[in-house]
Structure 1
Amino acid sequence: MGVSGMWIWFGGGVEKNQYLYFRKTFDLRDFSEARLKITADSRYVLYVNGRFIGVGPARGWPFEYFYDVYDVTPYLVRGRNVVAVLAQYYGISTFKYVRDNAGIYVRLEVRDGNGDIHIVESDGSWRVRPADPYVRNVPRISCQQEWIEVYDARREIDGWNKSMFDDGDWSNAVIVESSKKIVCRDIPFLTRIPRPPVRILRIRSVKPPKYTWYIDLRNNLLPGKYDANPDKINGIIATVIYSEKSQVARLRFIHPKWVCPQGPIRLNGNDVEKKDGYFILNLNKGGNLLLINVTGRYHDWGTSLLIDSEYKLVFKAPLGLEGPWSTFGPFSNNEEFKRVWNTRNEEDLPKEYVKPLRWIDYTDHDIFALTVFQKKVDKDVRIDNDKALLSLNEDFTTIYPNGSDIEILFDFGEEIYGNIYFELIAEEGTILDWNFFETLEENEPKYMFGLNNVMRYICKNGYQRYEGIVGRGFRYATLTIRNLKKPLKIRKISCILTLYPVSNRGSFTCSDELLNRIWKMCSHTLKLCMLDTFVDCPTYEQTLWVGDARVEALVNYYAFGELDIVKRSLRLAAKSLYRSPLPESQVPSGWKNILSTWSLLWVLAIEEYISYSRDIDFLKEIYRYVVETLHNLEKYMGEDGLLRIKAWNMLDWAPMDTPSDGVVTHLNILSVEAFRRGAKLSKILGDSENEKLFLRNADKIRLAVISRLWNSSRNGFIDSIHSDGERSNVISMATNSLAIIYNCVNKEQYSILREKLLNPPEDWVKPGSPYGMFFVLEAFEKLGYYNKIVEEIKDKWINMLYNGPGTCWETFNGTRSYCHGWSSGPLYFLSKIFLGVNVLKDVLIVEPKLFSLEKVEGNIPTPRGTIHIGWIKNNDCLKFNVEIPFRENVKIILPSYKEIKVVEGKCNYKIEEKMIVEFKGPSKIRLILC
């Protein structure tokens, strides 16, 4: 298909969180094939003749934006047809989207019976209007994501996406300028699998807090800022609270400070005391001037708060401005700030600093606050046929009004990701508030502060159905029904799973059921972290963090063997070099940020992908970015052979000493390996000049690490040397593990660390997350401590298995995300060690470790086919089988036995210190050794 055509939008202007309906009708006499290409900035939902077709696009940089292609032949008819598109424009950058010009692009090519092509494409003849059901003045989901979903079905335009709808009062689209280069989607479409909840944990009556607010400060205090870079604001939020009586009210901010601007509060000029998380407001009868100092540095600029009181309150912006709130600032100096902050009454406020809040920048119903802080009410709830809430059949559940809001707590059985769906019969104005979260704590919801994982649906009258457009991760959900005046009928509650369509080619079972369950937990975790790229987590961020993706790719090679998602993730990181000297930490993102460890792991991940896939075409494509990265890396090297990179230099969520400037040990060690891997790639492509350069750099840094970063009195590598020359007194397991993994040690250091890592001193910093633990486990593997790997996996991952949503947590103590792809590493080690195949090696060697377990069986996916391996230890004998489905010379290395019997297949063998068996694939070999 060609790429000609126009980008179009609405002539009524471009705003944040904007939703539009587009339509184009056309007539067909006959057709044999029809393919439709579409993309949008920022999101589209496509329909043809009223039939849902798909959602997109996949994430991409503005200069290389992705379009999707659909075969729409089955959905066209002779006569009148319509292509209809719901489009959303975010208007701000996120961690997975970089703001650019709004628009949609569509091109439909229809082949008729004569083979002629007829084209329908986006232009000024398309019809467009605002999609009013989608409410726009809503909070962000998080600083990493876009806006929450609020849908008001009372504003629906019935049949807008069907061919016979009359769009005569709609506007013509306008053609918009776009410099985007669009390229075809490079991964499959995601799945669409409905998953209902499996149980109802409770049903109760509840009462919400009286007053909740969300206030977006970006437009007023950071005018013109659309990126996702953290930034400072200097300003004040103000309102006058009118109380019908003197009373004590309580105010609290909802989310953590770094994503929810908050600070000291003054009421009528007096500082307000904070107690147990609440500010205590001693309100006078009549007007009370409330000032909130939101000065500070934040990663998002939306304030969420609630105020609870016994008697009615009315909120009015000071100085006669419209609306309930206003802002003062941004202030250019402290004196300007003090003029407002020290004011005791409304009349004395300086008018020159005040700004009204636009309607789109605030809302008086913060759904997260309403659902999290609602209180139980002692009223019985009547529900008929509650079993239908757990089914996808045609039965309805009926919920009866009782004068209160009604909350239902669902368990979907395991962590999932997708779009919520339901059908209902309701009275107009009934409200459904959803709050989605990952785990329970003492049988109560553990709500996800810092994340508005919520949605609201406002009912129209009669039958209706709805599928959300926001994908979200969760296991549990509360559904709160508000304003219920007549019985509500509801059915087919489900989550439409929208994940990367993996093939479960890898498998692992053994005689230790705990290890089996941990392997499956890791597989499920990784699957949930595979969307249109690898992502860190399906819930909080849904972000392609480049360092996380390296571990995820390694686990994928043993679990699924998918290739396209690996290439796509590596490509997106490479393209960040257009604005940064090293690949950025998360891409494609509005936060321009280098996390130098992640940049180096990206180089390792490329070499690992090439070793696994043998995809030379991709190497040729990506190689220039590797060279650019390593040449830029060389510029950070000092005369002493050590690198100093001013950047975010973390390795793990642990109290390591990794400053943003100076010499950071783990970065230097990883740089050694990055240069080595770069040299290997150069050799494959015959680039001897860069191969030699990269190896020289690797050797130089390695020698400097060994000689300059070792603490001889404490027998370990220090974490860093600060920019002022002070040597760190912190020694960590992660840093020293990397030294072992990548051979940045001399013989004496190796001997010392071999013992220290097995029994680390108390003052060595231990891994703070499964990600940091991955490097320690790699070191144990390098040292041959296989029993220790299994011991650590059981000890560290068992808590995740029996608590939480059945997935691997971001940190061992479960502080935030309960489904994190970087924590799925045990799958990689269990398959690699017990099945015995290193899929990254150039030669195929099968060398399973036979300790501790009695029985192991599993599959290892490779691009050429799936390898099957199984073994059973029985008394003094070993039954071993392997099946290789492709042409390859294979070597099996097993412990030495006295006798060997070849039960099936042809092979050569010899008995030395170990049993060596060689054969050629494709073949199946079965052996008995005694």
Structure 2
Amino acid sequence: MAFTFQINNDIKFKYNQDLLNKANQYRPTINYHSVNATSLGNLNKSTNSLGGYNIKKVADISELPKHSFTQDEKVILDFGDHYVGRFSMNIKKLGSPMDAPVFLKFKFAEMPVELAEDSANYRGWLSKSWIQEEYIHLDTLPTRLELPRRYSFRYLEITILGISSKWQVVFENPVVTTESSADLSKVSVPKLADSEITKIYAVGLKTLEGCMQDVFEDGPKRDQRLWLGDLRLQALANYATFKNTDLVKRCLYLFAAMPSSNGWLPADVFTKPTEIPDDTFLFDYSLFFVSILADFEKFSHEKVILNDLYDVAKKQINIALKQVSKQGELKLNDTYPVFVDWSNEFDKTTAGQAIMIYTLKQFIALARLVKDPETRFYKARLASLEEFTKQHLFDEKIGLFVSGNEREINVASQAWMVLAHVFNDQENQKLMQNTVHQLFPIKNIATPYMYHHVTQALFEANLTDEAVKLMKSYWGKMVQLGADTFWEAFNPEKPEYSPYGSSLLTSYCHAWSCTPVYLIEKYLLKNN
């Protein structure tokens, strides 16, 4: 259950400096706050926590300067919540003159289970350079150590790897200087009658805050870049909470400014040391540029952005329609794969067809706004897509959509067809009732990204109780296992699952998992 790297060294990119300049006009102000560690702890086995570990408090942080440490000793600092930022602390010696350097290891962790793993044993397919560990020699004490990198963590384990037997080391005033373009003080968690849903909202809000940096990052611990699929969900969550429209504008302009020579938008972009498009391309992610632009226009009604970027959105639709037959069948290929979800254990053809319909409908709404003379052409293409879908992809006997040559039945197909509103409301409700009856509990899916779409499909089908139940069993289960922020991947049947074979590489604060704030605001709060 994993995705694979794309390497497209032969792809050339076109840079639109005017759009890049506009992206930089919306570069956000980063907010900084100093947060002190709250307590000292020990790694403790716990059957109720992720991976079987939690941190048990042993003392208040005020006790830290009273302890001195020598060879092979360690201390775990707990900051009380998840933070994204830079670490610093005072370090001094106690005893005889400093006759040798001190050699320290710093291990940052979002979840306690990370402290239980030895990075030397990691053999996964992602680079181990992402592991949040630092090895440092200090020749002179006392000093104020300021680590240069940004970390995403709640816990910090410090180990003394080398020190003279003549003296000890003392640690004081451990601080994280947090970084985010979001400001939690300006957003409050709504008061809901259901305390579990309230907690899910709060954790989702904290997740979004950690991922709102210079751009909407997919994860502050790992990747630390802007992905189109994540951006669509982050923007929706942002409209429900922080309402930072400038950050959405910046991200839209960045993608629009760096297409490939054939017009494809990159699935992700880097912003350091300068703006760089990745050589990864995904069929549905490119189409989601249309969705992000349409959602932004619906929320803000800022026609300047629409006028600047409409042609880029139209290009993505035109490219995608080249893969649609005259009869309305989407024909996917390996050179421009559809993502849908990390899992490769299900057929994605029908979900891809639904995403084509979903984004084309949004594009037609934009085309009407700008009075595009070709709007009728796109409406005709939509009609053929929907007709093919109803005639050839829906199995009336079982009441579900099938996918691929083997006519596979999977939950992604049903969810995306409901979101695309191929059927009317009554038919959508019946479709999701059949989905719950025949395809729940969900199998072969381990990402909040796909769980979001299934949950939203339940809400859209007016199956509110079932949607809330799924939200609680998925995001609520993460909270029960100790989540301060929501995770990149989670399989309720196998909570320890990691796409990379190690918790050390899994992102436990990840953009596409923040969407309960959007779902709760859209479907629960507005209905109260």
> Which TM-score band applies after superposition, normalised by the shorter structure?
0.7 to 0.9
Aligned to 1:492: 173
**Equivalent in the alignment of 2:390:** 706
Cα distance, 1:830 vs structure 2: 1.6
Q: Which residue of 2 aligns with 1:668?
A: 353
- Tell me the TM-score normalised to structure 1 length: 0.47
CA offsets, 1:538-577, max 9 Å, x none?
Answer: 1122221211111111111112111111112222222332
Question: What is the deviation of 1:590?
Answer: 6.0
Q: Is the 8 A contact 1:706 1:746 kept in 2?
A: no
2:208 corresponds to which residue? Answer: 526
1:801 maps onto 2:468 in alignment: no
Contact 2:326 2:384 in 1 (8 A): no
Alignment-mate amino acid for residue 258 of structure 2: S
Distance 1:606 1:639, change over 3 A: same
1:732 pairs with 396, 404, 410, which one? 410
1:397 shift after superposition: 5.1
1:389–1:550 Cα change, 3 Å:
farther
Q: Secondary structure at the match of 2:454?
A: helix
8 Å CA contact 2:411–2:439 kept in 1: the answer is no
Partner residue of 2:524? 834
Match of 1:563 among 228, 245, 257: 245
| Superposed displacement of residue 184, structure 1 | 4.2
State the match for 1:197 in structure 2. Answer: 37
Matched with 1:269 is: none
Is residue 2:354 matched to residue 1:687?
no
From the two aligned structures, give the one with the greater strand fraction.
1
CA distance in 2, matches of 1:62, 1:388: 56
Q: Name 1:439's counterpart in structure 2.
A: 111
CA-atom RMSD in angstroms: 3.0
Give the alignment partner of residue 77 of structure 2, picking from 391, 401, 410.
410
Cα distance in 2 between the residues matched to 1:419 and 1:826: 28
Instruction: Name whichever of 429-438 and 741-750 sits farther off.
Output: 741-750
Residues in 1 aligned to 2:513 and 2:308: alpha-carbon distance in whole angstroms: 30
- Which residue in the other structure is 2:326 paired with? 639
CA contact (8 A) 1:600 1:671 kept: yes
What does residue range 40-439 of structure 1 map to in structure 2 within 5 Å? 63=15, 184-202=24-42, 387-388=61-62, 396=65, 399-401=68-70, 404-426=71-93, 427=98, 429-439=101-111
Distance 2:17 2:146 in 1: 26
Alignment-derived partner of residue 112 in structure 1: none
Structure 1 residues 772 and 521 mapped into 2: Cα distance closer, same or farther (>3 Å)? same
Match of 2:421 in 1: 743
Q: CA deviation at 1:626?
A: 0.7
Q: Would the aligned equivalents of 1:732 and 1:764 in 2 still touch at CA under 8 Å?
A: no
Separation in 2, partners of 1:747, 1:198: 51
SS in 1 for 2:389: helix
2:132 to 453, 459, 478: 453
| Gap change, CA 1:830 and 1:605, over 3 Å in 2 | same
1:473-492 aligned within 5 A: 473-485=152-164, 486-492=167-173
TM-score (norm 2): 0.80
Structure 1 residues 507 and 804, CA gap change in structure 2 (3 angstroms): closer
Superposed displacement of residue 434, structure 1: 0.8
Q: Is the 8 A contact 1:389 1:491 kept in 2?
A: no
Residues in 1 aligned to 2:136 and 2:337: alpha-carbon distance in whole angstroms: 41
Alpha-carbon deviation of 1:637?
A: 1.8
Q: 8 Å contact 2:107–2:115 — kept in the other structure?
A: no
> Does 2:509 match 1:819?
yes
Structure 2 Cα separation of the partners of residues 757 and 564 of structure 1: 39
Shift of 1:586: 1.4
TM-superposed deviation, 1:508: 1.1
1:613 aligns with 2:300: yes
Contact kept? 1:672, 1:698, Cα under 8 Å: yes
Quickly say closer, same or farther: Cα 1:189–1:546, change in 2 above 3 A: same
Identical columns (%): 20
CA distance in 2, matches of 1:585, 1:545: 6
Change beyond 3 A, Cα 1:590–1:575: closer
Q: Which residue of 2 aligns with 1:652?
A: 341
1:470 aligned to which of 142, 149, 154: 149
Q: 1:430 to 1:580 in 2, by over 3 A?
A: farther
**Larger relative helix fraction:** 2
Distance 1:549 1:181 in 2: 20
The answer as to 2:450 corresponding to 1:772 is: yes
- Hey, what's the Cα distance between the residues in 2 that align with 1:743 and 1:200? 53
Q: 1:133-172: CA deviations, max 9, x gaps?
A: xxxxxxxxxxxxxxxxxxxxxxxxxxxxxxxxxxxxxxxx
Seen in structure 2, the aligned counterparts of structure 1 residues 191 and 702 have a Cα distance that, compared at 3 Å, is same
In 1, Cα distance between the equivalents of 2:224 and 2:247? 15
Which digits, 9 at most, give the CA deviation of each residue in 1:331-364, with x for residues without a partner?
xxxxxxxxxxxxxxxxxxxxxxxxxxxxxxxxxx
Measured after TM superposition, the shift of residue 580 of structure 1 is 5.2
SS in 2 for 1:507: coil
Offset, 1:671: 1.1
CA contact (8 A) 1:437 1:446 kept: no
What is the aligned partner in structure 1 of residue 362 from structure 2?
A: 677
Unaligned runs of 5+ in 2: 1-12, 44-58, 123-127, 271-275, 499-505
Letter in 1 for 2:484: G
**Residue 684 and residue 762 in structure 1: after superposition, are their counterparts in 2 closer, same or farther (change >3 A)?**
closer
Q: CA deviation at 1:613?
A: 0.9
Give yes or no for contact 1:731–1:765 (8 Å, CA) kept in 2. no
Q: Distance in 1 between matches of 2:467 and 2:23?
A: 44
Deviation at 1:625, TM superposition (A): 0.8
Contact 2:23/2:251 (<8 A) preserved: no
Name the counterpart of 1:261.
Answer: none
| Pair 540,785 (structure 1): closer, same or farther in 2 beyond 3 Å | same
Structure 1 pair 698/462, CA: closer, same or farther in 2 (3 Å)? same
What is the rounded CA distance, in whole Å, between the counterparts of 1:564 and 1:447 in structure 2? 41
Give the Cα–Cα distance (whole angstroms) in 2 for the partners of residues 474 and 700 of structure 1: 50
* C-alpha distance 764-446 of structure 1, shift in aligned 2 (>3 A): closer
> Per the alignment, do residues 433 and 183 of structure 1 end up closer, same or farther by CA in structure 2, a change over 3 Å counting?
same
CA-CA distance at 1:653 after TM superposition:
3.5
694 and 182 in structure 1: CA distance in 2 versus 1, 3 angstrom threshold: closer
Separation (CA, whole Å) in 1 of partners of 2:381 and 2:73: 66
Mark the runs of 5 or more structure 1 residues left unpaired by the alignment.
1-60, 67-179, 204-384, 391-395, 721-726, 837-847, 850-930
Structure having greater relative contact order (Cα 8 Å, sep ≥ 6): 2
Is contact 1:389–1:493 with CA below 8 Å preserved after alignment?
no
Alignment-mate amino acid for residue 88 of structure 2: Y
- Counterparts of 1:719 and 1:484 in 2: how far apart (Å)? 62
Deviations 1:287-316 (A, max 9, x none): xxxxxxxxxxxxxxxxxxxxxxxxxxxxxx
1:591-602 to structure 2, matched below 5 A, reads 591-602=278-289
Report what 2:54 is aligned to: none
Find the aligned partners of 1:716 and 1:764 in 2 and give their Cα distance.
15
Q: What residue in structure 2 maps to residue 111 of structure 1?
A: none
In the other structure, the counterpart of 2:235 is: 553
Aligned mates of 2:423, 2:172 — CA distance in 1: 63
State whether residues 23 and 249 of structure 2, in contact with CA within 8 Å, keep that contact through their aligned partners in structure 1: no
